Amino acid sequence: MSVHPRDLPLADARALVQRAVDKAEQLGLRGGIAVVGASGALVTASRLDRGGAGGMARARSKAWISATQQIPSTEHLHRMTTLPAPIASGFVTVSPEAVFPGAGGMPIVVDGVVVAGIAASGATVSPFLPADVAPEVVSADGEPANPEDLLIAYALGVPYAGQHGDDRARWRERFGDLVLSPADSLGMRAAPAAVVQHELAWATGLCDAAIAAAAARGVRVSVAVADPGGDTIREDRMDDAVAGGVDVARATAAAAARFGMPSADLVPAFGVAAPLLDSLAPPTILAAPGAVPLVVDGRVIGGLGVGGADPGLCAEIAAQAAGEAAR
């Protein structure tokens, strides 16, 4: 056995995220779910349809905290709010991935070792009870529960444990003194497979095509699909792909999506001003080869970025995957 640790394999991480997507659709939630390896590099992430911008970044941050600090992110939040301010701010300075220290992230343990962290966040992924939600859906074994923590507990297949304060108070405010039996609680029951995540399925197909193209060339890469604003819909890192490829794939995908041109064309188009484009909006963009815009009926609907191998080769893989999807 190698003495060098490995992150959770991509296939295993994808399976966990898919379980969370299934449960989110059952609960009527929209947001992002991310798995970050113990190395601190993202393994996979998915955004449900109409999940809104920003949720993926928050989920990545909480998953990073759980993976690298090896504790539930709610414990990290408690520490950050009780430490002296210089220490708390210093932690974020040296660990910018932890810029959103929210509750809800959980470490993933295999054979007693933390190999990753998982978290969710987004438009309606929260500890608050959605409008018109049935009490049976937000109850675990007869006890009050909250949707965000249900997603993660269900994905991991572990007993429900709330991380967001008083579930019972939120329950009482919505349902009064209603009491459910464990037999009537549906929160941790098996969820049907998600069937209406059409944009996510499209982005997943693009990532699958890019991963297959990379594997055929004998390289390991990361892949990202961004929406027109540069927020990612899907991200995947092949097993043992270099950590920096995740950031390159995400940033080149955002560049192609936001400017409607291959990320390699930003320098010819904008000249010496190209590096300054990154300061115009929150999504980090990279004016380098690796991504192509995704265009349907003359409309830019996103960008596909590949990183972690030779940039020119990554651009070829992105172009091939996008071309296959357009057929």
Residue 58 lies in a domain: yes
Q: What span, in angstroms and rounded, lies between the C-alpha atoms of 84 and 91?
A: 11
Residue 82 lies in a domain: yes
Percent of the chain surpassing pLDDT 90: 92
User: How far, CA to CA in Å, does 12 sit from each of 44, 113, 192?
Assistant: 10, 15, 19
Query: Model confidence over 5-18: pLDDT tens digits?
Result: 999 999 999 999 99
**Range 222-230 average pLDDT:** 98
Together in a domain, 25 and 174: yes
At 1 the pLDDT is: 56
Q: Where among 140, 156, 184 does a domain terminate?
A: 184
Three-state SS for 218? coil
- Which one, of 288, 294, 293, lies nearest residue 314 by Cα? 288
Together in a domain, 71 and 207: no
Together in a domain, 163 and 68: yes
Together in a domain, 170 and 135: yes
Residue 271 lies in a domain: yes
Query: Model confidence over 131-188: pLDDT tens digits?
Result: 888 899 899 999 999 999 999 999 999 999 999 999 999 999 999 999 999 999 989 9
Query: Model confidence over 233-261: pLDDT tens digits?
Result: 999 999 999 999 999 999 999 999 999 99
Residue 3 lies in a domain: no
Together in a domain, 41 and 175: yes
Please give the single-letter amino acid code of residue 2. S
Together in a domain, 35 and 121: yes
Q: How many domains does the structure of the chain reveal?
A: 2
Query: Model confidence over 211-224: pLDDT tens digits?
Result: 999 999 999 999 99
**Range 38-61 average pLDDT:** 97
Q: Where among 149, 184, 219 does a domain terminate?
A: 184
Residue 25: which CATH number?
3.30.450.150
Together in a domain, 53 and 132: yes
Rg of the Cα trace of the chain? 20
Together in a domain, 42 and 173: yes
Residue 96 lies in a domain: yes
Together in a domain, 242 and 218: yes
Residue 164 lies in a domain: yes
At 3 the pLDDT is: 86
What pTM does this model have? 0.96
Can you give the residue range of the structural domain that contains 115? 10-184
Percent of the chain surpassing pLDDT 70: 100
Mean pLDDT, all residues of the chain: 95
Q: What span, in angstroms and rounded, lies between the C-alpha atoms of 147 and 259?
A: 36
Three-state SS for 237? strand
**Range 16-33 average pLDDT:** 95
Query: Model confidence over 263-273: pLDDT tens digits?
Result: 999 999 999 99
User: How far, CA to CA in Å, does 33 sit from each of 36, 175, 310?
Assistant: 10, 28, 29
Together in a domain, 34 and 158: yes
Cα dihedral 249/252/255/261 (nearest 10) = -120
Together in a domain, 280 and 158: no
Together in a domain, 141 and 209: no
- The span from the first CA to the last CA of the chain, in angstroms, equals 44
pLDDT grade for 327, boundaries at 50, 70 and 90:
confident
pLDDT at 40 over 90: yes
